[in-house]
Structure 1
Amino acid sequence: MRLGLVVYDGLGRTSGGYRYDRRIVAGLRDRGHEVTVVPIPRDGYGTNLLDNLSPEVAADLTALDVDVLLQDELCHPSLVRHNRRRDDDVPVVSIVHHLRCRESRSTWRNALVRAIERRYLETVDAFVYNSDPTRETVEGLVDPKPSVVAPPGGDHVDPGVTRERIRSRAREPGPLRVVFVGTLVERKGLHTLLRGLAALPADEWSLTVVGDPTVDREYVRRIDRLVSALSVERSVTFAGRLSDDALSSTLREGHLLAVPSNYEGFGIVYLEGMGFGLPALASAAGGAREVVTDGKTGRLVPPGEPRTVAEAVGSFATDRERLAEMGVAARDAYDAHPTWADAVDRVETFATGMRKIAGPFP
């Protein structure tokens, strides 16, 4: 089967959505399918809307000789007009990680994004969702279409942490070692985490921040000012982007993964942290509840509530037996979760079915 994938900037970025796309493409290629990646430069939302008038983008899409065209839904501002103007019978399948209209922005801007996003969703033939909550969110905007839910796996690295180590690590003296992993943008909630941690005694915690600081430089400057205003410089380490090996080492030595996002369509990072025996402090908004069981493998907290973050982190810091118990439960849940091979199975089967519906193909 010949497939195309349209995605901003190719597959080199480090966020969970890019990791998802990268793993699906690699899995499909391993099974003998031909996958052509069509990169579109990611600029601002308004600039990417102009891609709909771009002859270069139109030429790249027209040149594709594929049976099924996959599109990362986050590219929707660049594709809505191109999809409406297509005149072939190649099915277009949108991979939806989360909707941009669920991100934090001013009311009028979000109304505009919502309208454009809805128009894009109407132009595609089918969907691949990363979670049932993501599917429900999309079906709140447009009528249901053929779809498959293919949850991400977390098994691309071997955590190398035994349950005995998870228990002994939790009982080690000293501050609770909190790890934040995510692109440094407002949606990921680092500011909420910092405010929550600052409400706790300084000797109870330390924080390592792992993530790309180049995507939203103004937000990073806000975070720098917040760290200074809260006087927590000695407790916070900014590690920047890390290789898989370096990230694994950081998670292996941590106690708690904390990413209190405003919204997550799924939250691959929660699952990956659980593989290292780290309970997850996760967003109660969106798909994280499919990964994290509140009170058993982590805590689900409402977006934008530092006080709730402080209460959750404080309970882990002062009750290390509970931390150990939840760390082992997190690892058990990780082991029971579907793998990346399972996700590729679902996408492959679904895409094959879409090809047959649209056929015939050479």
Structure 2
Amino acid sequence: MHIQFFIPSIYQLPTGGNIFNRKIIDFLSDVHAVTVTVYRQSSDLKTGRVQADVSHKTHIVFVDSLLLREPSVRKFMKRKASGVRFVLLVHYLHLIDPEQENSPAAQQELELLSTFDGFVTTSGFSAEKLIRQGVRFSKVCVAQPGLDLIYRTEIRKNEPAPIPLLLTVSSILPGKGLPEFISILEKQADLDWQWQIVGEAGLDREFYRKFDRHLEGLRRAGRVVYHGSIVLSKLVRLYDEADLFVLPSHFESCSMVSMEAMSRGLPVLAYQVGGLQEIVINGQNGYLIPPGNVSEFSRSLWKLISDPGLRKQLGENALLSSREFPGWEDTGNTVNNFLMKISHF
């Protein structure tokens, strides 16, 4: 079987969606013939070159959901080749985000759902949202992201830090709730803590500049360190050094980083949004706060900073929960089995 992937030009950046794509491409390349087309400009699709490639040799075409924002991709989908199965890789869609589900972008996505023969989602939440929009259950595959083997290695905790270390791993984007979390931290200046941030800054440069200015007060006080994008081994080390994982996102389709944090024994503090509800059990391995309830988020943060015994218990439970998370081979097999089903091979 020949499989073709259409992926965004940002594919090399270390976002959760890009990591998922690379892992699935690597897995399927060991089983099938796989080609990858990086979408860089509208001319790629307007020339018909891609259309011809798809028509003559391809059985399955994966389209990253981020590409549905491109007008030329939407046109391409409406005149797609017959006899080819098109599968949408659902990382983010406006129509599954409660804050965006009534937006014009969500309506454009809705109009394209019928052009796809299958959907690979990273959470049951996303799958359920699609089914509510009329997608047949048999067309949807839930493939929870896997954990790299390094996350199964022994946790290397040093001596307890003199102050609690809070860790956030997130792309620097408007929907990630980072400015709001800065405001929460500024109101907890009487407590001892340090905030470490890891994340890609290149997705929205203008927003990053604003975010960096927001950090200035905490930076002057020596209470925040922004690492940018870092290699995997250093990220694992930061997980192991941290005491609490905080993810203030307004929406997450799944949250690979929360899974990673839990596998290193960290409790998670986040909002009860999207696929996070399938990973974090409120009060057992972390706290999930009702969306938009900033005061409750702040109270839970205070409780976790102030009570090392609570952090330890929730962290131990998080580690136990993480043992149920799949590896990438499991995720790859899930996707491959789905492809075999919808392609009738």
Q: Same fold (TM over 0.5)?
A: yes
Alignment of 1:162-181 (within 5 A): 162=155, 172=160, 174-181=162-169
The answer for the alignment partner of 1:45 in structure 2 is none
Please give the alpha-carbon distance, in whole angstroms, between the structure 2 residues aligned to 1:196 and 1:140: 35
The yes-or-no answer on 1:82 pairing with 2:76 is yes
| Cα shift at 1:159 | 5.0
The answer for the alignment partner of 2:331 in structure 1 is 343
Alignment of 1:319-358 (within 5 A): 319-356=307-344
Question: Aligned pair in 2 of structure 1 residues 183, 231: CA closer, same or farther (>3 Å)?
Answer: closer
Question: What are the superposed Cα offsets for residues 206-229 of structure 1, whole Å, 9 maximum, x if unpaired?
Answer: 111111112112212222232336
The yes-or-no answer on 1:241 pairing with 2:264 is no
- Which piece of structure 1 moves more, 125-134 or 194-203? 194-203
The answer for the alignment partner of 2:122 in structure 1 is 130
The answer for the alignment partner of 1:205 in structure 2 is 193
Question: Aligned pair in 2 of structure 1 residues 232, 294: CA closer, same or farther (>3 Å)?
Answer: farther
The answer for the alignment partner of 1:280 in structure 2 is 268
The answer for the alignment partner of 1:2 in structure 2 is 2
The answer for the alignment partner of 1:316 in structure 2 is 304
Equivalent residues of 1:192, 1:304 under 8 A apart: no
**Count of paired positions:** 340
Equivalent residues of 1:154, 1:334 under 8 A apart: no
Question: What are the superposed Cα offsets for residues 16-56 of structure 1, whole Å, 9 maximum, x if unpaired?
Answer: 111111111111123x2121111112xxxxxx7xx399424
Structure 1 residue ranges (4+ consecutive) displaced by more than 4 angstroms after TM superposition: 101-105, 229-233
Question: Aligned pair in 2 of structure 1 residues 214, 20: CA closer, same or farther (>3 Å)?
Answer: same
Please give the alpha-carbon distance, in whole angstroms, between the structure 1 residues aligned to 2:269 and 2:220: 20
2:171 is aligned with what amino acid?
Answer: T
The answer for the alignment partner of 1:96 in structure 2 is 90
The answer for the alignment partner of 1:26 in structure 2 is 26
| Cα shift at 1:160 | 3.5
Please give the alpha-carbon distance, in whole angstroms, between the structure 2 residues aligned to 1:289 and 1:35: 34
Equivalent residues of 2:254, 2:274 under 8 A apart: yes
The yes-or-no answer on 1:148 pairing with 2:141 is yes
For residue 309 of structure 2, give the secondary structure of its aligned residue in structure 1.
helix
Please give the alpha-carbon distance, in whole angstroms, between the structure 1 residues aligned to 2:25 and 2:44: 28
Please give the alpha-carbon distance, in whole angstroms, between the structure 2 residues aligned to 1:231 and 1:302: 29
Question: What are the superposed Cα offsets for residues 295-338 of structure 1, whole Å, 9 maximum, x if unpaired?
Answer: 11111123444322321221111111111111111111111222
The answer for the alignment partner of 2:15 in structure 1 is 15
1:324 is aligned with what amino acid?
Answer: K
Which of these residues, 46, 49, 59, is aligned with residue 55 of structure 1?
46
Please give the alpha-carbon distance, in whole angstroms, between the structure 1 residues aligned to 2:303 and 2:225: 22
- Which piece of structure 1 moves more, 217-226 or 310-319? 217-226
| Cα shift at 1:233 | 4.4
Question: Aligned pair in 2 of structure 1 residues 54, 258: CA closer, same or farther (>3 Å)?
Answer: same
The answer for the alignment partner of 1:111 in structure 2 is 103
For residue 213 of structure 1, give the secondary structure of its aligned residue in structure 2.
coil
Equivalent residues of 1:280, 1:292 under 8 A apart: yes
For residue 146 of structure 2, give the secondary structure of its aligned residue in structure 1.
coil
Equivalent residues of 2:172, 2:204 under 8 A apart: yes
Alignment of 1:193-232 (within 5 A): 193-228=181-216
Please give the alpha-carbon distance, in whole angstroms, between the structure 1 residues aligned to 2:83 and 2:219: 59
For residue 266 of structure 1, give the secondary structure of its aligned residue in structure 2.
coil
The answer for the alignment partner of 1:44 in structure 2 is none
| Cα shift at 1:231 | 7.6
| Cα shift at 1:184 | 0.3
The answer for the alignment partner of 1:160 in structure 2 is 153
The yes-or-no answer on 1:67 pairing with 2:59 is yes
1:63 is aligned with what amino acid?
Answer: D
Question: What are the superposed Cα offsets for residues 84-112 of structure 1, whole Å, 9 maximum, x if unpaired?
Answer: 1124211101111231345698x8x9621
Equivalent residues of 1:132, 1:287 under 8 A apart: yes
- Which piece of structure 1 moves more, 197-206 or 317-326? 197-206
For residue 222 of structure 2, give the secondary structure of its aligned residue in structure 1.
helix
For residue 38 of structure 1, give the secondary structure of its aligned residue in structure 2.
strand
- Which piece of structure 1 moves more, 273-282 or 302-311? 302-311
2:125 is aligned with what amino acid?
Answer: P
Question: What are the superposed Cα offsets for residues 115-146 of structure 1, whole Å, 9 maximum, x if unpaired?
Answer: 11111222111111111110122233343251
Please give the alpha-carbon distance, in whole angstroms, between the structure 2 residues aligned to 1:271 and 1:278: 10
Please give the alpha-carbon distance, in whole angstroms, between the structure 2 residues aligned to 1:183 and 1:322: 28
2:118 is aligned with what amino acid?
Answer: A
CA RMSD of aligned residues (A): 2.5
Equivalent residues of 1:258, 1:280 under 8 A apart: yes
